[in-house]
Amino acid sequence: MEKEVVTENPVKSNLDLSNDLVKKYMWWSMGAGLIPVPFVDIAAVSGVQLKMLKDISDIYGIKFSENKGKSIVSALLGSIVPNSLARGGVGSILKMIPVVGTVMGGISMSLFSGASTYAIGKAFIQHFESGGTFLNFDPVKVKDYFFSKFEEGKKVAGEMNDKKDK
């Protein structure tokens, strides 16, 4: 008589589902960062990041506000990592230089996009895990955490980029 093998299909937690989404949207952001048209890349990455926030908020049952999401993302990127944001913007501007600029700007913008998407996702996951909503998210209070996740995100994006090449 054969033994019946039971395989468990555990239900993923909100945290696991959200972390999976962050990785998925990092790929999309990195791809959008490669768009060769300056500033169109930034708009595309912003759209990807907002879609990620909506999907994460849906997982946690939190009402998504596009306007609030845009202002929070702008505040996080604009006031927390101005040097890195400048590098990301420079990546977009570099694309104006034919051939070499397009390649260098694309690589720079792609990695910046992946890292910033990672940091935004992680900051919101932490906030939602602690019971927060869009209404009480304070970018100033998460500044240090966001910056540490941005630095971590640069490594993760670099590893993802390396895996893509293999």
Residue 5 lies in a domain: no
DSSP structure class, residue 128: H
pLDDT at 85 over 50: no
Specify whether the CB–CB gap between 69 and 134 falls below 8 A.
yes
> Is residue 117, in this structure, part of any structural domain at all?
yes
**Within a domain: residue 135?**
yes
Phi-psi region of 10 (alpha: psi -120 to 50; beta: other; left: phi over 0): beta
- 121: confidence class by pLDDT, cuts 50, 70, 90: very high
Alpha-carbon distance of 166 to 150, in angstroms, equals: 25
Query: Has residue 4 been placed in a domain?
Result: no
Residue 121 lies in a domain: yes
User: For residue 131, which amino acid is it?
Assistant: G
Better-predicted residue by pLDDT, 82 or 59: 59
The model carries a pTM of: 0.81
CA distances to 9, 52, 59, 132 from 17, in Å: 14, 12, 8, 17
For the chain, how many structural domains are there in total?
1
What residue numbers bound the domain in which 31 lies? 14-164
Token match 């945290």: residue?
A: 15
